[in-house]
Structure 1
Amino acid sequence: MTVVTLADHQAQQQHLAAPSMPRMSVETKLDYCRAFAASGLLPRQFRGQPANLLYAVEYAESLGLHPMVAITGVHVIEGKPSASSALISALVRRAGHRLRIKGDATAAVAQVIRTDDPDWTFEVRFTIEDARRAGLLGKDVWKKYPASMLKARALSAVARDACEEALFGIHYTPEELGAVVDQEGNPVYLAGEIQQDTGEQAPQDVEQPDFLALAQDCPDADAVRAVWGQAKAAGAPADYLAQVAAIGRNKPGAKVAEQPPAEVVEDVVEAEPAGDAQIAADTATARAEMYDAAQAAGLDVEEANEAFEAAHGCQAVFATAEQLRAQAADLREAVEGDR
C-alpha cells in the first residue's frame, strides 16, 4: 500500500498550487518563452521551441499549476495532453479526494474515495494478464518494471472513472497513448538519453536526432527504413523502433500488410522458386513456429509482425528461417521469464 503522510500531501499541494507567472499578454508571454527556450535544461520538446513552451505555460495557467509543473509533467502525444501517474495522483489529491494504491509485479489495485461521496469507493484492478491481453508485455519498460507500470495503469483508470473533473483534460499517461517511457512513466525522447542494451546511458553531450520526426518527414517507405536503421544503431529501444516502422507502413512504397499466419505461409510457399522448395518449406515451418510463440506470449498477428520487424528490420513475410526461429526463441524466453 502506498502511504502518503500529511506533510507529503501538504508539500505536494503547495508545489502544484505554487503561483504561476503574473498575468501577462500573449506577446509578453511569448517573449518570456523565447528567452526560456534557449535553456539546455528543458525537455527536448521545448528546447528552441518557444511556441511549444507557450502551450505548456498556457496549459499550466488553465490548470492552476506552476508553469514548471506543466513543463516537466505534461507531455503532448499526437496532440493530446498526457501526464505521468505521479502528476495525475497529485491532481486527484489536490481536489481533496482520497487515493490509495497497492500492487506488485502481478496485479495492482487503485481506489478513490470522493470528498462529496465518502460512502462509495471507486476501484480499478489491473493485472499482468490484462497487460498480456493488451499486448503490453513485449515492451521493454514492462519487462523491467511490471509493478510500476501496473500501478500506473490502475491509477489513471480509476482517476478517469472517479474524478475526471480533477484531471482537466489529462485522461491518459504517455505510455497509454503509445509513447516509449521510462520507469517513472515519462516519455523517452532520443536526445542523448537513449538506453543502450547494456543499461548504460549514452554520453549526455551526444545529441541524437528525433527519429520519429525524421520518419514522418520521409517521402517514402525506403527512406523510413534508413531512418529505422539509424535509430537502431543509436540504441533506440524496440518499442521506439516499432513506432518508426509503423510510420513507414503508411508511406508510399510500403509493402502490403501481412495476412494471418496460415494464409501467409500459403502465399509465401507459392511465391518461392520451384528449385528452392526445401528452403520454402523450412521457412514456412519456422514462420508458423514464430506465430505460435507469439500467441503464447499474448500477441496477435499484427503485434507479432510489428515485434519481429522492430527486432530484425524486415517484415516477417520476407524473413529467413533462422530469423524466424530466433524470434520464436526470444518470445518463449519472455514467456518463461513472466512465469
Structure 2
Amino acid sequence: MSTEIVQSSGGESLHSKMEYAKALAQAGLLPQAYKQQPANVLAAIEYGEALGIKPIVAINEINVISGTPSPSASLMASLARAAGHRVRAWNEDDGTAVCEIVRADDPDFTHRSRWDETKARQAKLWGRGHWEKDPATMLRWRAISECVRLACPEVMGGLKYTPEEVLEMQQDRPAPTPVVSEQVPRVPPIPADLADKIAASDDVGWLTRTADYLAKRWGEHDPEKVADLQALCAARVDDLASNAPEPSLEEAQATLEDVLDAETVEDAAS
C-alpha cells in the first residue's frame, strides 16, 4: 500500500506529514529534541492533532525527555480551559502555590492542589535546579500539573508528566549497578599422559623445562598435581644421573688432553 493513500489521524496523507516533518526538522528555531529529528517532529504533530493544537505549538510545548513526550504545565492548563473547565492558579503570601479546577460537567465540586516548601522538600525537590532559582514558579507549575491530572486527565491525550517531573523521576532512580565481566582465561587441563612421558624420558633438559613450565602454566590452578609431576621430574633426573655409565679410560684420556690443550693455548696467548 502506497503511503500516498495512507491517512493520518488528521486526514492528511502520511507521506505529506513525513515531508512536512523533515522540512521542519531543518529549522534552527526548534527545541533541541526536534532539530534534525523528523520522527520526533512527526510524533509532536500527531500529539498536537490529538490535543487540538497547531504543530508548531505542540513542538514548543511538548518536550521530549529521554524519549518521553511531556507537556508543559502551561499547556496542561490551556487544554483544561479549552475543554471548558475553570482553572485558577496563584501563589499565596506564605509561599504556598494553589491550583483549583472546577470541571464544566461538575460545577459544584472544586479540585484543589497545594504545593509549598514542605511538600517540595518531602519530594526532594527543594533547592535543586530551577527550584533553587525560581521556587515560586516551580511550586505553581507543580500545583497546576498535579491538579490537571487529578481533575481532568482526559484533556492530556495520554500525556501525564511535565518535563521537570520526568527529569526528577529519572534522577530519583538508582543508578544501575555496572556489570563487570571478568574474562578469566581458560586454562586447559594438564595432559593425562604427561606422567607417562616423564617416566619414559631420557632427556634431562626436557625434564627440567617441563618442571618449570608446569609451575608457570598450572601452578595456580592445580598446585597439588603440579607438585606431584615436578617431584616425578626430579626423581627421573636423579635416576638418569645415577644410572649414567662410567666413562671409559679412552674417553677420560681424551677429555684430559682437551683440557691440557686449552690451557696451553691460554698460556701462549698470555
Q: Same fold (TM over 0.5)?
A: yes
Distance of aligned partners of 1:117 and 1:102 in 2 relative to their CA distance in 1, 3 Å threshold? same
Cα distance in 1 for partners of 2:103, 2:23 equals 42
Cα distance in 2 for partners of 1:42, 1:80 equals 17
SS in 2 for 1:45: coil
Say whether residues 1:109 and 2:98 are aligned partners.
yes
For residues 47-95 of structure 1, give each alpha carbon's deviation from its aligned partner in whole angstroms, at most 9, with x where no partner exists. 1111111111111112221001110001133443211111111001000
Cα distance in 1 for partners of 2:140, 2:127 equals 18
* Structure 1 segment 305-320 matched on structure 2, within 5 A: none
Cα distance in 1 for partners of 2:57, 2:143 equals 23
Cα distance in 1 for partners of 2:156, 2:21 equals 25
Q: Which residue number in structure 1 is paired with residue 156 of structure 2?
A: 167
- Tell me which of 75, 91, 99 is aligned to 2:87: 99
Please say which of residues 119-128 and 164-173 is displaced more in the overlay: 164-173
Alpha carbons 1:124, 1:158 under 8 Å: kept: yes
For residues 310-336 of structure 1, give each alpha carbon's deviation from its aligned partner in whole angstroms, at most 9, with x where no partner exists. xxxxxxxxxxxxxxxxxxxxxxxxxxx
Cα distance in 1 for partners of 2:96, 2:177 equals 36
- Tell me which of 9, 18, 22 is aligned to 1:34: 22
SS in 2 for 1:178: helix
SS in 1 for 2:69: strand
Distance of aligned partners of 1:25 and 1:126 in 2 relative to their CA distance in 1, 3 Å threshold? same
Q: Which residue number in structure 1 is paired with residue 213 of structure 2?
A: none
Alpha carbons 1:108, 1:151 under 8 Å: kept: yes
- Tell me which of 141, 147, 150 is aligned to 1:152: 141
Please give the TM-score of this superposition, normalised by the length of structure 1: 0.47
Give the superposition deviation at 1:106: 2.6
Distance of aligned partners of 1:153 and 1:73 in 2 relative to their CA distance in 1, 3 Å threshold? same
Alpha carbons 1:98, 1:115 under 8 Å: kept: yes
Cα distance in 1 for partners of 2:75, 2:133 equals 22
Give the superposition deviation at 1:152: 0.8
Number of aligned pairs? 171
Q: CA RMSD in A?
A: 2.6
Distance of aligned partners of 1:22 and 1:118 in 2 relative to their CA distance in 1, 3 Å threshold? closer
Give the superposition deviation at 1:179: 5.8
- State the one-letter code of the partner of 1:166: V
Cα distance in 1 for partners of 2:106, 2:19 equals 45
Structure number with larger C-alpha Rg: 2
Give the superposition deviation at 1:246: 6.7
Alpha carbons 1:83, 1:172 under 8 Å: kept: yes
Alpha carbons 2:10, 2:49 under 8 Å: kept: no
Give the superposition deviation at 1:131: 0.5
Say whether residues 1:118 and 2:107 are aligned partners.
yes
Q: Which residue number in structure 2 is paired with residue 176 of structure 1?
A: 165
Say whether residues 1:54 and 2:42 are aligned partners.
yes
Q: Which residue number in structure 1 is paired with residue 131 of structure 2?
A: 142
* Structure 1 segment 258-273 matched on structure 2, within 5 A: none
Cα distance in 2 for partners of 1:73, 1:250 equals 35
Structure 1 spans left out of the alignment, 5+ residues: 1-20, 181-241, 254-339
Alpha carbons 1:101, 1:109 under 8 Å: kept: yes
Please give the TM-score of this superposition, normalised by the length of structure 2: 0.58
Q: What fraction of aligned residue pairs are identical, expressed as a percent?
A: 42
Alpha carbons 2:33, 2:64 under 8 Å: kept: no
Give the superposition deviation at 1:115: 1.0
Alpha carbons 2:44, 2:58 under 8 Å: kept: yes
* Structure 1 segment 1-339 matched on structure 2, within 5 A: 23-104=11-92, 106-178=95-167, 249-253=176-180
